[in-house]
Structure 1
């Protein structure tokens, strides 16, 4: 839930967007990875603009602030959706939006914007970085802060279950100016990393891959991640129902989305 006693604006220990290293994503990388949320003039950003409105309304209603984004299985497009939702949301809120890469085994968010970090969230969790400001990046010209990870292929569960992760969440919840903090999580069935992470978050969004994710997948994920509430679901790669094709080319020739931030079990 949102912190009832937010830090004082005069407290210099607050994690602020302005204190993060600035980074300008190369246009070539943004286009390559179909990151359209930064540009409100791009017609392909329309579904993300609609999604951010529903998402922001849901967060206000529920009082959530730290929200994970996961899927049942790999290759559902959750990291793509995380980046586009965060960048689109950051264009319309007054306070910063932070996006944190907790899919440490895959760690793809930095790559999507052309960032090549030497260290990231994994370094903070390992203890070699003591201040989150050291690993955060301010996306120039936006209200978005990105906290990337550098890939680790082992011991990720131990990192997420450790005291350093608890400290990171406490800092983000109580000593951070961001209005919304999104976490790109691993797929729920890939390991127990998502389950461990979500035990300290306010809720999560479940990305459903149209034609691949089954009802059984959804029910099993809801049971597995309980009692952390599911804020809603996003049906990804949906090729009908909105009246046009958005032509993302992500996982196929047509890439549309239909989203429903309601009870996913209904």
Structure 2
């Protein structure tokens, strides 16, 4: 597709929360996947309320808007944390918060809120969808907009390295009213997708799975993803001690199963 045919011309309309179709997540799905960030009365939301405060302060100080959330290893609870952080953050900021699913091989964010999308970010990247606003959903009663993807198991790197991905990031950065845009990314060692994506983002948060993610994993991720800055880390499933055996390798069985099974939550 020639540049002139791309749908992001200088007169392209703004991507606004009000321009997204409203979606009300079924209560049973919210409870099933333990999405507690929408409800400040839920005691389980407290860690995410604390996290959102430090997160919001950090990105404001650094002037960041587009932040990826990744992990070193599979099954670290990354998507669960992405959804809860985004929903919790959306309750306290004045401007909209957007959450974009770029873990195309898993496409789990829609499942977490019981959404069955007809089109997704993958469609925009392959040219079958021209308008990002037709992909996004505004969560009823909140300032959170979610942009799902539909699962693909092949050629994801080609989609993410293409011209349309760069134009999508430009649209989100320059023509979006959202003050903060979070991206649920693949684990760093599952494929090179996270490396490709982060070349165009402002920074990332690293989810560390207590007792499974090793010091070597963390060091290698930080090296791999340079020069994009890591603005912080989240220690997930912490039970009073790291318990790190330093014995996990990058080629273990979890990587072969990662795209076949749902991601465990925190």
The TM-score normalised by the length of structure 1 is: 0.86
Moved over 6 A (4+): none
Q: 1 CA distance for matches of 2:219 and 2:119?
A: 36
Structure 1 residue 118: Cα displacement: 1.5
Matched, 1:238 2:202: no
Q: 2 CA distance for matches of 1:251 and 1:149?
A: 19
Q: 2 CA distance for matches of 1:12 and 1:186?
A: 30
Deviations 1:229-262 (A, max 9, x none): 0011000000138xxxxxxxx958xx5xxxxxxx
Deviations 1:181-206 (A, max 9, x none): 00000000000000000000000000
Structure 1 residue 168: Cα displacement: 0.3
Task: Give the alignment of 1:223-262 within 5 angstroms.
Answer: 223-240=223-240
Structure 1 residue 93: Cα displacement: 0.3
Long gaps (5+) in structure 2: 1-10, 242-262
Task: Give the alignment of 1:18-29 within 5 angstroms.
Answer: 18-29=18-29
Match of 1:6? none
Q: 2 CA distance for matches of 1:214 and 1:73?
A: 9
Q: 1:251 to 1:166 in 2, by over 3 A?
A: closer
Match of 1:66? 66
The TM-score normalised by the length of structure 2 is: 0.86
Task: Give the alignment of 1:100-111 within 5 angstroms.
Answer: 100-111=100-111
Q: 1 CA distance for matches of 2:12 and 2:120?
A: 22
Structure 1 residue 23: Cα displacement: 0.2
Match of 2:117? 117
Match of 1:53? 53
- Secondary structure of the residue aligned to 1:31 is helix
Structure 1 residue 52: Cα displacement: 0.0
Q: CA RMSD in A?
A: 1.4
- Secondary structure of the residue aligned to 1:100 is strand
